[in-house]
């Protein structure tokens, strides 16, 4: 997927300085970079972002790196040194947005906090992503995505009733926080168009998860009800569950719309359930969820998965099955919607990566290059700042860049 050569990307001209590492902050800047922002990623010299060594490694670099860090310029710079901090202040003075996900107070200790940077650049938008936010009694506690998922209420609900909770298999707390960071950035840019001034954006991992928890809090407040883990079912929304097929596969069926439910019951040969007025709406169905699930299960367990899906598709009943990576890579719909893209790694090998979201009709985002090698753009970026070669050589000899 590539943007039209005749049209600029929506964020062309926006300069973003990334002072984060690992997942939440870098995921947010990845999204901005895909739509044209010039993202300058600051990494520690020698080691770089720890994500470079996470999960599967090939040729010394994580395969994840080529997704998380595409469309960024890598600058190897020691943020703990006075000279490195001075360079960051110069970069921030020319930036539109700074995204950081250090523990609150860390940048202030380096004279890179909001008060310092906004004084240099009143138009600056500064995005903070942290475990617990910039205020409150937990402010100074370390927090990763999994802890945010636990405190936000998600972890308690995952898994089977009576068994230990399980985590979602990806860093969903970090990714949700990144999305909120991008939303906040776009809102702040809109406000800056009116006022001419920047502002701070405070994103907490636990709050990003908590915001997804639907009616969990009002149900507790109104009646003292604590929502419990429910395995593959969705309590109070019926039917919506996983059902075993002949041969051991599973299908997911969401027949919880009123008219959809009637069509589902007709497909499985239970017209008396379809016509029961007590089951016409979700509240009545939820009171008899076990009976309805048992009826569906009795039908699915006698049929192979593909036969089930064909029948439900014909009846316009939402259904599917849990995709593996192989299913995704070979799915024609993914391919048709350009969600399976191929890039060239620095070693020349091709690599499949996810496409760009959201899809804009006039100015679609760019796939760009995979993750940059550590410090690849250091000289380029510092030259743009007016730092001459002799000074760069001295900084490099001192280990600052």
Query: What are the pLDDT digits (tens) for 275-322?
Result: 999 999 999 999 999 999 999 999 999 999 999 999 999 999 999 999
Residues 122 and 201 in one domain: yes
Lowest mean pLDDT among 53-62, 68-77, 375-384: 53-62
Cα gap 344→171, rounded to integer Å: 26
Are residues 164 and 26 part of one domain?
yes
CA distance 84 to 61: 25
Strand ranges (DSSP E) for 238-339?
Answer: 240-244, 250-254, 319-320
Considering the domain boundaries, does residue 261 fall inside one? yes
Cα distance between residue 243 and residue 187, in whole Å: 43
Does residue 351 lie within any of the structural domains?
yes
CB 334 within 8 A of CB 328: yes
Residue 232 domain flag: no
Same domain, yes or no, for 20 and 150?
Answer: yes
Under the banding of pLDDT at 50, 70 and 90, the label for residue 376 is very high
Nearest-angstrom CA–CA distance, 42 and 328: 33
The whole-angstrom separation of Cα 151 and Cα 166 is 14
Does any domain span residue 329? no
Asked whether 315 and 338 are in contact (CB, 8 A), the reply is no
167 and 48 co-located in one domain: yes
Strand partners, 42: 75
CATH code of the domain in which 299 resides: 3.30.1540.10
Task: Give pLDDT, residue 59.
Answer: 86
Question: Which of residues 286, 320, 354 is at a domain's end?
Answer: 320
76 plus 200 within the same structural domain: yes
Choosing from 38, 78, 96, 174, the catalytic residue is 174
Asked if the structure places residue 7 within a domain, the reply is: no
User: Are the CB atoms for 282 and 256 separated by under 8 Å?
Assistant: yes
Picking from 68, 28, 34, 31, the residue whose alpha carbon sits closest to that of residue 48 is: 68
Do 296 and 352 lie in a common domain? no
- The count of C-alpha atoms lying within 13 angstroms of the C-alpha of 104, restricted to the half-sphere facing its C-beta, is 20
Q: Does 192 share its domain with 268? A: no
Domain boundary residue, one of 269, 296, 320: 320
DSSP 3-state assignment of 197?
Answer: coil
Q: What is the pLDDT of residues 121-142, one digit of tens each?
A: 999 999 999 999 999 999 999 8
**Domain membership flag for residue 375:** yes
The mean predicted confidence, pLDDT, of the chain is: 94
- Does residue 60 fall inside a structural domain? yes
User: In the structure, what pLDDT confidence band is assigned to residue 2 with cuts at 50, 70 and 90?
Assistant: very low
Shared domain check, 311 and 280 = yes
Are residues 194 and 309 located together in one domain of the fold?
no
Confirm whether 148 is domain-assigned. Answer: yes
Model confidence pLDDT, tens digit, residues 316-343:
999 999 999 999 999 999 999 999 999 9
Q: What is the pLDDT of residue 144?
A: 87
Q: Is 174 a catalytic residue?
A: yes
Q: What percent of the chain has pLDDT over 90?
A: 89
Give burial (CB, 10 Å; 0-12/13-18/19+) of 249. middle
Adjacent-strand bridge partners of 126: 98, 200
In this prediction, residues 186-210 reach a mean pLDDT of 98
Please name the helix (run of DSSP H) or strand (run of DSSP E) that holds residue 311, with its range, or none. helix 305-314
CATH of the domain at 116: 3.40.50.10540
Give me the pLDDT at residue 4, please.
Answer: 42
Predicted pLDDT of residue 234: 87
| Bridge-based pairing state of the strands 250-254 and 240-244 | antiparallel
Instruction: Based on the fold, state whether residues 24 and 127 are members of the same structural domain.
Output: yes
Task: Kindly report the pTM of this predicted structure.
Answer: 0.92
Question: pLDDT tens digit string along 236-266?
Answer: 999 999 999 999 999 999 999 999 999 999 9
* Nearest-10 crossing angle of helices 258-267, 305-314: 130
pLDDT of residue 167: 87
pLDDT at residue 164 tops 90: no
Q: Structural domain tally of the chain?
A: 2
In which band, very low, low, confident or very high, does the pLDDT at 345 lie, cut at 50, 70 and 90?
Answer: confident
Q: Of 261, 288, 320, which residue is a domain's last?
A: 320
Q: Domain residues for 96?
A: 15-211+335-397
Higher pLDDT, residue 5 or 77: 77
Same domain? 133 vs 54: yes
Is there a single domain that holds both residue 117 and residue 143? yes
According to the model, what pLDDT value does residue 1 have?
43
Residue 3 has pLDDT above 50, yes or no: no
Q: For residue 244, how many C-alpha atoms fall within 13 Å in the half-sphere facing its CB? A: 6
Question: How much is the average pLDDT of 373-384?
Answer: 96
How many whole angstroms separate alpha carbon 204 and alpha carbon 363? 31
What mean pLDDT is predicted for residues 232-239?
92
Mean pLDDT calculated for residue range 97-109: 96
């Amino acid at each position: 997927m590539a943007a039209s050569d005749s049209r600029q990307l929506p964020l062309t001209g926006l300069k973003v300085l990334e002072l984060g590492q690992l997942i939440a902050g870098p995921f947010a800047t990845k999204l901005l970079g895909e739509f044209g922002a010039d993202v300058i990623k600051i990494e520690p010299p020698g080691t770089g972002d720890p994500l470079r060594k996470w999960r599967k490694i090939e040729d010394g670099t994580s395969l994840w790196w080529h997704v998380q860090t595409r469309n960024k310029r890598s600058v190897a710079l020691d943020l703990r040194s006075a000279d490195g901090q001075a360079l960051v202040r110069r970069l921030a003075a020319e930036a539109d947005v700074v995204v950081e996900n250090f523990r609150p107070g860390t940048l202030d200790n380096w004279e890179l906090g909001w008060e310092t940077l906004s004084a240099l650049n009143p138009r600056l938008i500064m995005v903070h992503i942290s475990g617990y936010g910039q205020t409150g009694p937990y402010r100074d506690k370390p927090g990763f995505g999994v802890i945010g998922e636990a405190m936000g209420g998600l972890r308690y609900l995952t898994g089977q009733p009576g068994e230990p909770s399980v985590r979602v298999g990806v860093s969903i707390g970090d990714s949700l926080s990144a999305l909120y960071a991008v939303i906040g950035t776009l809102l702040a840019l809109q406000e800056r168009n009116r006022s001419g001034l920047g502002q701070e954006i405070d994103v907490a991992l636990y709050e990003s998860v908590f915001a997804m928890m639907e009616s969990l809090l009002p149900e507790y407040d109104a009646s003292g009800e604590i929502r419990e883990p429910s395995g593959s079912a969705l309590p109070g929304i019926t039917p919506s569950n996983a059902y075993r097929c002949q041969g051991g596969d599973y299908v997911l069926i969401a027949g919880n719309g009123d008219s959809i439910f009637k069509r589902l019951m007709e497909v499985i040969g239970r017209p008396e359930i379809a016509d029961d007025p007590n089951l016409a709406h979700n509240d009545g169905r939820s009171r008899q969820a076990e009976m309805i699930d048992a009826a569906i299960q009795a039908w699915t367990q006698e049929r192979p998965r593909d036969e089930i899906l064909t029948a439900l598709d014909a009846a316009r009943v939402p259904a599917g099955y849990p995709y593996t990576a192989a299913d995704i890579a070979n799915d024609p719909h993914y391919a048709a919607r350009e969600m399976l893209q191929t890039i060239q790694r620095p070693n020349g090998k091709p690599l499949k990566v996810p496409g760009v979201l959201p899809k804009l009709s006039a100015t679609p985002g760019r796939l760009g290059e995979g993750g940059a090698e550590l410090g690849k753009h250091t000289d380029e970026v510092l030259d743009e700042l007016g730092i001459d070669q002799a000074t760069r050589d001295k900084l490099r000899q001192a280990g600052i860049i």
